[in-house]
Chain A
Amino acid sequence: MAIGIKDKVAIIGMGCTRFGERWDAAAEDLILEAFMEAMEDAGIERREIDAAWLGTCFDEVNVGKSGIPLSQTLKLPNLPVTRVENFCATGTEAFRGACYAVAAGASRIALAVGVEKLKDTGYGGLPGFDTAMGVFQHFTLPNFTAPGAFALLATRYFAKYGIDPEEGKRALAKISSKSHRAGALNPRAHLRKPVTPEQVLKAPIIAWPLGLFDCCGVSDGAAAAIVTTPEIARSLRKDPVFVKALQIAATSGEEMLTTSWDGSYLKTTTEAAARAYAEAGIKNPRDELSILEVHDCFSITELVTYEDLGISPRGRAILDVNEGLFDLEGKIPCQSDGGLKCFGHPIGASGIRMIYEVVKQLQHKAGERQIPNPTLGLTHNLGGIPSFSVCSVSIFGL
């Protein structure tokens, strides 16, 4: 077992732009917007930052490759700046780079920025994946989209547990409706209109059985985090948030190369969660976690993630959804900021946006959507598709 970085890294500043169709803003504008908020939150000088990580996924329609777009936009003085990419888990990957630099003692104060300018792609939904999985797969993988790949998870989950698709869709509709209610309270969210489960069910089908409201927003946005050592953090503010666990799991290919995986859950989430709980010393996540920010790219992902994180027993997440366990007023609120569903999903930014919400909640700065007395929060940032995924699970506490 690796040692981990529990309590070795503290967050001193978080920033997050309004997500949405930011037609007037370039990726560079979004980077600066998130950065300035994080700097103000941290109360440090720009020259105190000594390393930076930039997370972007679709470089072709974004700021381009390399770390230079970040160093140049912020005029960072020849610092070590690295660009990282790990599909939709890119944001957490950038954050991980900054945390590891601090934990290793290589850096005193490090910056992580995630940004994506999806509305410049011209697509509704994500651009075509095409060669995103390699030139060989271009010849062999089906002509799939993200909603379709996650719809496979729904079809299989329903079949495995003998759930009639209509009944399954009703449970998924409650998940989306719950996030819309939270998103409506969040001034930075992309989609701010509450929708009823009935409206969700009536929406056009995107990839059967998933409809329009089962899918998350496709947005522009950026988010930033500034991390440092516990000592420096305590000298700067009274409420730094500590990284309790930061785990990432990339598939070995077992899901598709063998028939051992049954297609109804995410193997990487299960692995990353187990490691994160061990790192953070969590025995019973259902009792110990106060708040969840999961990668709800689709309603089915959120449903399955409740089980993969060990919050709900296998095959029983629908019962917890029906009982309101994950509602804003529930025992473990999930997506208190609207989630990917409503806050939006500018890919590179999403992982850091989740951390932003958990930190604000832990610091009692979440405004209208503040939950009472949170102690431990979890973020779950997933990249790829269920059969071919990379997943990070992180835990934060005061």
Chain B
Amino acid sequence: MIGITAYGAHIPRYRLERKRIAQAMSWINLATLGLAAGEKAVANVDEDAVTLAVAAARNALTTAPDLSPTQLFVASTTLPYLERQNSAIAAAALNLAPETETADVTGSFRSGTTALIQALRSLENGGSGGALIAAADARTAKPGSAEEHVAADAGAAVAVGTEDLLAVFRGALSLTADFPDRMRDCSQRFSRTWEERWIRDEGYLKIIPRALAAFFEKQGTDAQAYQKIAYPCPFPREHAAIAKALNIDPQRVVDPLTAAVGDTGSAHPLLLLVHALEQAEPGDNLLVVGFGSGVDVLHFQATDRIRDRRPALPLSRQIERKALLSNYEKALAFRNVLPVETGLRGEFQAESPRSVMWRHRSTIFGLVGSRCRHCGTPQYPPQRVCAVPDCNAVDAMDPYPFASRTGRIVSYTADHLAFSYDPPQIYGIVDFDGGGRMMLDFTDCSLEDLQVGMAVSLAFRRKYLDKERGIHVYFWKAVPTVS
């Protein structure tokens, strides 16, 4: 048997109330006033599709810490790089073995389910020892568009394998359709959509029911056979109409999270799958649908283990744990839609030498330090000469990974002089449980939250973006455990 071995999601901390978008932009398009309810999740300025994918994958690994997948897929339509494999960056952050097969899957919002199907097929053929699929999008929409109200940011991850299954794979079906509802070529910043009525009526309302009906026929079942059915559709009325067309009991439809999170693009189908798995009981049959240039349908059945291995940070908690973005313009500045004055400190960027990045890849991206075999002291960055004065042993170090360790704040500040897109820049010194110390940027927190001694965990984030040279540099930041 093959199936799901781990799952988890990452919803960014910030929410933008849609009424703020309407307050700022409805003057240009009064029709968007009707969309101005609820909130959408927006990525922090240091998050992008790669970091969202890594965060979701790390959260998934809390349900199966010993998992060592042989394949990693990153699925997204907003990957930071066209050239330089984004999944290779994620693999480095996740400290996966160099033998890991990696691939970026992109081009449509069903890239996540497509990657999942590919991974399952590979398992079926004995071609993989287990795969991790992380889908994420950090979406950018044109100010004043309807899309701007809908588009949201998140990551979701699922691991598949052959042992310790949380849900068994029961079948899948894909339909390909070059339905041109939305498109964006390599030179474009924003997606262009066609008339909304056409997208709803000819797209969601026809193609998803057609695929589900085909799947039911293939499996010899009907909607009643599935306890949880998850499918994306950002239009609430049409989302309900799809269930009605297929005679699905509304109780069995997984909440599409439109009001509280928004449509997270490539991440959305797996996000809804995670949502369903978190609530699933043993024996439940789950359907998940991906939509974009066609449809993917996947069927899983929860095992007895599903109850024992829930993610450390479930989706419901992540939805509650939020901070409202204080203004709309900040959301635009975060995604570089609104040019803002950065001053010299924001303008000047030294070159990021790639040879240094490569030589220290495990230190920078994997956050691997060293631990002295003589005195046992963990040290970051890795040293050749032990820094403990009474020891000073030379070349007696073992690699020591820090990324999963928790720590305590030794000191902190909120700096208004340092350049930040979300000032003040907060940083400090952290001591790690078990030893080791770092000076780190802090993220997803405010000065008022902080106390000396407070617990922190680590997050893989973008450290800086060199816009002139198109270099996205990633590193780790401390996230205070704010109660």
Residue ranges of A at the interface with B (Cβ–Cβ < 8 Å): 121-125, 127-128, 130-131, 135-136, 138-145, 147-148, 151-153, 155-156, 159, 204-210, 252-254, 256-260, 262-263, 387
Task: Choose among B411, B435, B437, B440 the residue that contacts A142 (Cβ–Cβ < 8 A).
Answer: B440
Contacts of B143 in A (CB 8 A): none
Contacts of B435 in A (CB 8 A): 259
Task: Choose among B344, B349, B475 the residue that contacts A127 (Cβ–Cβ < 8 A).
Answer: B344
Residue picked from B379, B383, B388, B410, most chain A C-beta under 10 Å: B410
Interchain CB contact under 8 A, A144 and B415:
yes
- For residue A161, give the distance in angstroms from its CB to the closest CB of chain B: 12
Contact A257 to B383, CB < 8 A, known contacts A145-B417, A151-B415 = yes
Task: Choose among A143, A252, A260 the residue that contacts B420 (Cβ–Cβ < 8 A).
Answer: A143
- Asked if B447 is an interface residue, CB under 8 A from chain A, the answer is yes
User: What CA separation (Å) do A205 and B379 show in the bound complex?
Assistant: 33
User: What CA separation (Å) do A258 and B370 show in the bound complex?
Assistant: 12
Can you list 26 residue pairs at the A/B interface with Cβ under 8 Å? A128-B344, A130-B349, A135-B353, A139-B352, A139-B364, A139-B463, A140-B363, A141-B439, A142-B425, A143-B418, A145-B345, A153-B411, A155-B411, A156-B429, A205-B414, A206-B415, A208-B415, A208-B447, A209-B413, A210-B413, A254-B389, A258-B377, A258-B388, A259-B435, A260-B388, A387-B439
- For residue B122, give the distance in angstroms from its CB to the closest CB of chain A: 34
Contacts of A121 in B (CB 8 A): 344
User: What CA separation (Å) do A219 and B231 show in the bound complex?
Assistant: 63
The chain B residue with its CB closest to the CB of A153 is B411
Task: Choose among B363, B379, B414, B463 the residue that contacts A208 (Cβ–Cβ < 8 A).
Answer: B414
- Asked if B424 is an interface residue, CB under 8 A from chain A, the answer is yes
Beta-carbon contacts of B424-466 to A below 8 Å, as 1s and 0s?
1101110100011111110000010000110000000001100
Contacts of B415 in A (CB 8 A): 144-145, 147-148, 151, 206-208
Interchain CB contact under 8 A, A130 and B437:
no
User: What CA separation (Å) do A93 and B37 show in the bound complex?
Assistant: 64
Task: Choose among A123, A136, A258, A387 the residue that contacts B344 (Cβ–Cβ < 8 A).
Answer: A123
Contact A139 to B356, CB < 8 A, known contacts A207-B416, A208-B413 = yes
How many A-B residue contacts, CB cutoff 8 Å?
140
- For residue A207, give the distance in angstroms from its CB to the closest CB of chain B: 4
Interchain CB contact under 8 A, A256 and B417:
no
Contacts of B107 in A (CB 8 A): none
Contact A152 to B428, CB < 8 A, known contacts A127-B344, A139-B364 = yes
User: What CA separation (Å) do A135 and B415 show in the bound complex?
Assistant: 23
Contacts of A209 in B (CB 8 A): 413
Contacts of B437 in A (CB 8 A): 256-259
The chain A residue with its CB closest to the CB of B425 is A143
- For residue A36, give the distance in angstroms from its CB to the closest CB of chain B: 34
Residue ranges of B at the interface with A (Cβ–Cβ < 8 Å): 344-345, 348-350, 352-353, 356-357, 360, 363-364, 377, 379-381, 383, 387-389, 410-420, 424-425, 427-429, 431, 435-441, 447, 452-453, 463-464, 473, 475
Interchain CB contact under 8 A, B414 and A139:
no
The chain A residue with its CB closest to the CB of B447 is A208
User: What CA separation (Å) do A135 and B355 show in the bound complex?
Assistant: 10
Interchain CB contact under 8 A, B356 and A136:
yes
Interchain CB contact under 8 A, A139 and B475:
yes
Interchain CB contact under 8 A, A207 and B413:
yes
Contacts of B440 in A (CB 8 A): 142
User: What CA separation (Å) do A127 and B379 show in the bound complex?
Assistant: 29
Interchain CB contact under 8 A, A159 and B452:
yes
- For residue B432, give the distance in angstroms from its CB to the closest CB of chain A: 8
Task: Choose among A140, A144, A205, A206 the residue that contacts B364 (Cβ–Cβ < 8 A).
Answer: A140
19 further interface pairs, Cβ-Cβ under 8 Å (given A127-B348, A141-B439, A254-B387)? A128-B345, A128-B348, A138-B356, A139-B364, A139-B463, A140-B381, A142-B425, A142-B439, A143-B427, A144-B415, A144-B427, A145-B345, A159-B453, A207-B414, A208-B413, A208-B447, A256-B438, A257-B383, A263-B429
User: What CA separation (Å) do A152 and B414 show in the bound complex?
Assistant: 9
Contacts of B349 in A (CB 8 A): 130
Interchain CB contact under 8 A, B425 and A130:
no
Q: Is the interface of A mostly helix, strand, loop or mixed?
A: loop
Contact A148 to B413, CB < 8 A, known contacts A122-B344, A138-B352, A142-B440 = yes
Contacts of B424 in A (CB 8 A): 207-208
Interchain CB contact under 8 A, B360 and A136:
yes
The chain A residue with its CB closest to the CB of B364 is A139
Residue picked from B352, B411, B419, B447, most chain A C-beta under 10 Å: B411
Contacts of A138 in B (CB 8 A): 350, 352, 356
Contacts of A151 in B (CB 8 A): 413, 415
Contacts of A252 in B (CB 8 A): 387, 389
Contacts of B381 in A (CB 8 A): 136, 140
Interchain CB contact under 8 A, B416 and A135:
no
Contacts of A130 in B (CB 8 A): 348-350
The chain B residue with its CB closest to the CB of A253 is B387
User: What CA separation (Å) do A136 and B352 show in the bound complex?
Assistant: 9
User: What CA separation (Å) do A208 and B414 show in the bound complex?
Assistant: 5
User: What CA separation (Å) do A291 and B348 show in the bound complex?
Assistant: 41
Contacts of A136 in B (CB 8 A): 356, 360, 363, 381
Contacts of B473 in A (CB 8 A): 139
User: What CA separation (Å) do A258 and B383 show in the bound complex?
Assistant: 11
Task: Choose among A210, A254, A259 the residue that contacts B431 (Cβ–Cβ < 8 A).
Answer: A259
Interchain CB contact under 8 A, B379 and A258:
yes
Contacts of B463 in A (CB 8 A): 139, 143
Residue picked from A122, A142, A260, most chain B C-beta under 10 Å: A142
User: What CA separation (Å) do A143 and B441 show in the bound complex?
Assistant: 7
Contact A263 to B410, CB < 8 A, known contacts A207-B415, A258-B377, A258-B387 = yes
Interchain CB contact under 8 A, B417 and A152:
no
Interchain CB contact under 8 A, A144 and B418:
yes
The chain A residue with its CB closest to the CB of B343 is A123
User: What CA separation (Å) do A210 and B416 show in the bound complex?
Assistant: 10
Contacts of A210 in B (CB 8 A): 413
Contacts of A260 in B (CB 8 A): 388
Contact A152 to B350, CB < 8 A, known contacts A139-B360, A256-B437 = no
- For residue A156, give the distance in angstroms from its CB to the closest CB of chain B: 4
User: What CA separation (Å) do A257 and B435 show in the bound complex?
Assistant: 10
